Chains A and B, each alone.
Chain A
Amino acid sequence: MPETSILSDDFIRELMNVGEVDIVVGVPTYNDAAAVGQVVQAVRAGLLQYFPRARAVIVNADGGSRDGTQELVRAASISDLNISADVHALRTLHSISTQYDGGPANGIALHTILAAADLLQAKACAVISPESTMIEPQWVERLLNPVIRDSIDMVLPVYRRHKFDGLLIRNLIYPLTRAVYGCHVREPYPSDFAFSGVLGSNFLSQDIWKQEQGRSGTELWFAISTITNRCKITQSFLGTKARPENAPTDLVKAMRESAGTLFASLRLNRKRLYQMFAFGMKELEPVFLSILTPETHAELKRLAELPEDRFEFAPDIWVRTVYEFAAAYHRAVIGRDHVVQALVPLFRGRAVTFLTQNREASAEEVESNIESLCQTFEHEKPYLLQSWNGGK
């Protein structure tokens, strides 16, 4: 029962007073006093403006701030104890805060927010980063409305970014997620997102909270898990996302949180990738026959018939496959878009082998393997030229 172990008695008492709600807006914080007041005020304004009749609560999960962050969050409450002439609210709005143990860690904060939303039986839950200083009240509406109105399971953000901001997302997380999972989400590692109460409860019941993904990179795991479980996912344009002034410059840490989680998710989904490869081989056989040479095709068929534990998509056959696809694309043997699409299941097969072979590898070993692959590509380059100019 994760929710009984992660929540303190005092926090449960606060949740009791809040009671059942329609909406939870979670704000994970750690020493965010400089910005969090502005963020929770915008959240409050959004709730009052767009969800005036909903039972809502702002839940702050704090990693042990000593700068008054929690007090700033609590000040956003609207009750009959702090009536303001400027605020016209139909009902009470609680803004509560708790400090979790083992922090600061975004994953634990999210775990706390999920547990609170689950206990309060929230229909929808949004998570807003305290670093989202450009937040406007309509962010709340744009994140939550698809869940409430359209029964979407997860809403991911789309931001207007500076051209040199979000490099890791743009260069690695987004393209890799898109390639591997075939899902075009621009921010798979979101800091502002929303999800349904049902999906939140499902996240909560997963066995990741004692693993590394349960501490860091958890948001990315949420997104990938939603994609791979074929839940309904959508993106909402929120507005400008500013790079926080005190953004961490520790790239290794950032890579660990993002790429590490992403790769870990790929590992978790190796079996599924293998199944998708085998299924693709069977389903797309007529297409492959028009693209690949008979030898390559026969080799791939043989691979698809291997049991999973003996499956190996070797670099040389992968390189020849890619070159034959490139030539088929060049000569437009079938519609070019179909050529590209047909490569997807084969890439999945290659990814399975890459992940399997590098499971226990160090970073240097992985780099060495990639280098080896690159050399194979270079070594087989004449084959590309031959295919390009000749035929199958």
Chain B
Amino acid sequence: MASQDSLWYKDAVIYQAHVRAFYDSSGDGNGDFRGLALKLDYLQDLGINTIWLMPFFPSPLRDDGYDISDYRSIHPNYGTLDDFKAFLDAAHKRSIRVIIEMVLNHTSDQHPWFQESRSSCTNQRRDWYVWSDTDSRYRGTRIIFLDTELSNWAWDPVSKQYYWHRFFSHQPDLNWDNPQVRDEMWDVMKFWLEMGVDAFRLDAVPYLVEREGTNCENLPETHEMIKELRARLDREFPGRMLLAEANQWPSDLRAYFGSGDEFHMAFHFPLMPRMFMAVKLEDRKPLTEILKQTPEIPENCQWCLFLRNHDELTLEMVTDMERDYMYDEYAKEKAMRLNLGIRRRLAPLLDNDRRRIELMNGILMSLPGTPIIYYGDEVGMGDNVNLGDRNGVRTPMQWDGGWNGGFSSADPEMLYSPLMLNPVYGYQAINVQSQKRFDHSLLSWMKRLIRVRKSNAVFGRGSIEFLYPANHRVLAYVRKLGNDTILAVNNLSSAAQAVELDLKAYRGNILIEMFGRNIFPRVGELPYLLTLGPYQFYWFRLRRI
């Protein structure tokens, strides 16, 4: 896709989808690239302009594809390379860019590289992974999957040494100190870039390098390696983008932007749980606090914001007190908890409360950054916490109320995952087809929200200035870009609120509500009084006429 604007990712509205879960064109029970291509019109109509695909490479699927066994092919369940190319072309024709996953940190233990590496201590690929005679190295390193792993080392009975793994033991870490590994991974990325892929979401980047005496996260050597990748990307594929997955505090995350020479974008992980916390506490403090702690980033960089994704709602970047609160409020049942997080979708987290779902999406779309919508959340899909691991938030997309929810023509027993069947979130109740029929459905509302967001570049590129009204239940901020100014006012409370905003700096401006385009009173000398219904939000465009 021809890149007209190298900063395109700042204006993006990203839709995160899993090929396996989206649409099954072959009737084998798994979604596939042909199916995904068939649904591009739906995504175009929704208004998104970028798709982020979860891993679709050959894999034993012990970690939903994040355990890759071949980086240059497509998992047979999802189709062929030709199917992928056809999908990519079809997306580009609709001005939809495509981000794919690139798991740099580790492979599957079934990957031929690892099979060779473990075959003997003298194998030429032995040094492609991190081996040790003892399991006592890098003791300062935390274990990420606390629920399943006891150590970051696993014993290999074949070559009689331990290998290093930050995630599951079936996912050995690559040795990024080895130049051969770095060259090989760049070749892998080139393979997809030459095909036309617009961007990579680089998985688990803080963990690429290990050093004794450190916590093996965010090391300077890791940043050097990312800079090297970025330089190669800019040189050979200008206009393409790198998105970092680094679940870290903002101060640690900042380093991944470098001087604008590492990642273009990074997920703002600490913000996400605080959005949920703020709405439950009915208090803007958690949100404004974390955004105050968020450092400035280079001009060409951007935060990626999300409410939910394919993983658990991570609570690693909160305090113990905040984590306890989140568990008590959002994961009352033990089954809802996984690792340090909550494995639930957006709608169930918010008690299927349409007003709160709208408010959260409104905040997502109006804070500085590029928003991501997780597939199915645009219609309010539910989750199934009984499916184990994070599979409960990865169930088939619910297209209609018919056979298999319109996802697949296969027998239900053949589906990769059971469908949602309960009377609240089941496919008969929640599906695209039924919501397309009504202007007031969540789907229709999401379309309007995305349309308004895309109507003004301020949202993606503008500065932010928080107003601090005395009413702490109201979150208000001004976004500015050139002569364009937008005021966002959010009522985080379940009750109606009155708020007085200090808009002296905008005296004389008329407020135009962006959804209904209605005119509100001109800003004068006095504090600007607004009343908001429960969980209501306003976006105003300020105009001096």
Contact = CB atoms under 8 A, between A and B. Distances in A.
Given A19-B497, A20-B495, A92-B283, A81 B468 contact: yes
A19 B493 CA distance: 10
Nearest to B499: A17
Interface stretch (B255-263, B319-327, B421-429): B319-327
Nearest to A94: B472
Contacts of B470: 13-14, 17
B436 to A, nearest CB: 39
Contact of A80 (B292, B493, B498): B292
B493 A92 contact: no
B285 interface: yes
Contacts of A78: 285
Interface string B479-511: 000000000000001010110000000000000
Contacts of A52: 321, 325
Contacts of A205: none
Nearest to A78: B285
B318 to A, nearest CB: 10
B284 interface: yes
A78 B493 CA distance: 19
A385 interface: no
B471 interface: yes
Contacts of B187: none
A289 interface: no
B289 interface: yes
Main secondary structure of the interface of A (DSSP, over half): loop
A155 B199 CA distance: 64
A57 B466 CA distance: 24
Nearest to B497: A19
A90 B471 contact: no
Interface residues of B, number: 25
B370 interface: no
B10 interface: no
B143 interface: no
Contact of B322 (A16, A83, A90, A94): A90
Contacts of A89: 285
B281 interface: yes
A88 interface: yes
B473 A91 contact: no
With most chain B CB atoms within 10 A of its CB, the pick from A16, A53, A92 is: A92
With most chain B CB atoms within 10 A of its CB, the pick from A20, A78, A90 is: A90
A228 interface: no
Given A14-B470, A16-B471, A91 B495 contact: no
Interface string B293-326: 0000000000000000000000000010110010
Contacts of B325: 52-53, 90
Given A80-B284, A80-B292, A83-B292, A92 B472 contact: yes
A81 B498 CA distance: 19
B473 A90 contact: no
A79 B321 contact: no
A55 B472 CA distance: 12
A20 B319 CA distance: 26
A16 B472 CA distance: 10
A120 B325 CA distance: 24
A92 B498 contact: no
Contacts of A53: 325
Nearest to A89: B285
B391 interface: no
Contacts of B288: 80
Contacts of B319: 88
B285 A79 contact: yes
A17 B285 contact: no
Contacts of B282: 19, 55
A55 B285 CA distance: 13
A21 to B, nearest CB: 11
Contact of A91 (B283, B469, B497): B283
Contacts of A55: 282
B321 A90 contact: yes
Interface in A65-122: 78-81, 83, 88-92, 94
How many chain A residues sit at the interface, stated as a range, is 20 to 34
A349 to B, nearest CB: 53
Contacts of A81: 468
A19 B471 contact: yes
With most chain A CB atoms within 10 A of its CB, the pick from B283, B284, B495 is: B283
A216 to B, nearest CB: 34
Interface string B420-458: 000000000000000000000000000000000000000
Contacts of B472: 17, 19, 79-80, 91-92, 94
Contacts of A79: 285, 468, 472
With most chain B CB atoms within 10 A of its CB, the pick from A80, A83, A89, A94 is: A80
A88 B497 CA distance: 26
A16 B289 CA distance: 23
Contacts of B498: 16
A337 B286 CA distance: 61
Given A79-B472, A80-B468, A88 B283 contact: no
A15 to B, nearest CB: 11
A91 B471 CA distance: 13
A90 B468 contact: no
B321 A80 contact: no
Contact of A83 (B283, B289, B321, B469): B289
Contacts of B469: 17
A93 to B, nearest CB: 9
Given A90-B281, A91-B281, A92-B283, A17 B471 contact: yes
Interface string B271-286: 0000001000111111
Contacts of A13: 470
A370 B292 CA distance: 72
Contacts of A83: 289, 292
Interface in A171-206: none
Contacts of B468: 79-81
A17 B500 CA distance: 9
A17 B498 CA distance: 8
Nearest to B287: A80
With most chain A CB atoms within 10 A of its CB, the pick from B281, B322, B470, B497 is: B470
B473 A80 contact: no
Given A16-B498, A17-B472, A88 B321 contact: yes
B327 to A, nearest CB: 12
Interface in A1-44: 13-14, 16-17, 19-20
Nearest to A96: B470
Interface string A318-360: 0000000000000000000000000000000000000000000
Given A19-B473, A83-B292, A91 B285 contact: yes
Nearest to B278: A91
Contacts of B495: 19-20
Contacts of A88: 319, 321
9 contacts: A14-B470, A19-B472, A52-B325, A83-B289, A88-B319, A90-B277, A91-B283, A92-B283, A92-B472
Q: Which 6 A-B residue pairings sit nearest by Cβ, starting from the closest? A: A17-B470, A80-B288, A92-B472, A91-B283, A17-B471, A91-B281
Given A17-B469, A19-B473, A80-B466, 20 more contacts: A13-B470, A16-B471, A16-B498, A17-B470, A17-B471, A19-B471, A19-B472, A19-B493, A19-B495, A19-B497, A20-B495, A79-B285, A80-B285, A80-B289, A80-B472, A81-B468, A83-B289, A88-B319, A90-B281, A90-B322
